[in-house]
Amino acid sequence: MAKITAGVGCSHTPAIGAAVDLGKTETDYWRPMFEGFEASKKWIKEAAPDVVIMVYNDHNNAFDFKMIPTFAVGCADEFPIADEGWGARPVPIVKGYRELAAHIVQSVILDEFDLTIVNEMEVDHGLTTPMSLMFGEPEAWPVRVIPIAVNVVQYPPPTGNRCYNLGKALKKAVESWDEDLNVMIFGTGGMSHQIQGPRAGLINKEFDKNFLDDLSRDPERLKDIAHLEYMREAGAEAVELVMWLVMRAALGEKVDEVYRFYHVPASSTGVGHIILNADNNE
Ligand code: DHB
Ligand code: FE
């Protein structure tokens, strides 16, 4: 049986990918941030997932204002890297797992979640930045990836509660796939950030810390945080944190915190990072 063994919460700020691609990870600005992911890279290499379900958001690259699905599952064999305006990142193509993605889509839709099936899709920094942070710079990515793109760019995004319930449905879907697979799930984006307007640069460390604390201690509180509260307290783009709730709920009721890291500054973002083992991962 496949099972979700662990979850990773992780920033996806595009400047991080640019720092990797331009060889700037050792500069004074970036070194402290990348050092925080050294232990994570070791951990994931040892834990050796077969598949990563990547809950991320597209930033008007695969989709645009003509069409914005709320939850879109990438069911292709491969996902090319998007050109976001300065050329595609020089990272390996992302390999999917079509059969498992199709199974997840069937299980979750029949569970009454109306996902969008996407058979052709490019992936942007929302997905590739976490890959670089966790897997470094390999010739080929060591895992297959099932992208789940969540709309957080145009109002209204899904509620935290809806995301939390999607996580539960994903757990059920993975556990009904009859192949021994080590599956991990990433929730990406956040933490506090506001990248435009008079409040640009807003960071709320206390909000971020409480969010990280309650991922293991009280996720039921987090699922009820309203969009306006994210935006008021932690900046407009902090609403990306609803994607971490998909990850959290897919791990089951209890989790063990393996690792945590928090760092400011990195572009406009409070870089938050957490690794949680699922309760079935003995
Ligand atoms: C930044 C962060 C994001 O999540 C994003 O999608 C774009 C920019 C930033 O910190 O600059
Ligand atoms: Fe983003």
- Residue 282 pLDDT exceeds 70: no
Distance (Å, whole) CA 183 – CA 89: 25
Pairing between strand 181-188 and 2-10? parallel
Q: Can you say whether the dihedral through the CA atoms of 15, 18, 20, 25 is positive or negative?
A: negative
Q: Distance, CA 282 to ligand 2 centroid (Å)?
A: 33
CB atoms within 10 A of CB 197: 9
- Residue 30 maps to which CATH number? 3.40.830.10
Question: 206 lies in which domain range?
Answer: 3-278
Residue 210 corresponds to which tokens in the numbers above?
Answer: 């409480």
pLDDT digits over 19-72, tens only? 999 999 999 999 999 999 999 999 999 999 999 999 999 999 999 989 999 999
Q: Which of 129, 199, 269, 273 to mutate to test the pocket of ligand 1 (most atoms within 8 A of CB)?
A: 269
Residue 188 corresponds to which tokens in the numbers above?
Answer: 């990406």
- The model's confidence at residue 164, banded by pLDDT at 50, 70 and 90, is very high
- The model's confidence at residue 279, banded by pLDDT at 50, 70 and 90, is confident
- Residue 165 pLDDT exceeds 80: yes
Q: 227 catalytic, yes or no?
A: no
C-beta of 13 in contact with ligand 1 (< 6 A): yes
Number of domains in the chain: 1
pTM: predicted TM-score of the whole model, two decimal places: 0.98
Q: Can you say whether the dihedral through the CA atoms of 68, 70, 75, 76 is positive or negative?
A: positive
Q: Distance, CA 172 to ligand 1 centroid (Å)?
A: 32
Q: 125 catalytic, yes or no?
A: yes
Pairing between strand 269-278 and 255-266? antiparallel
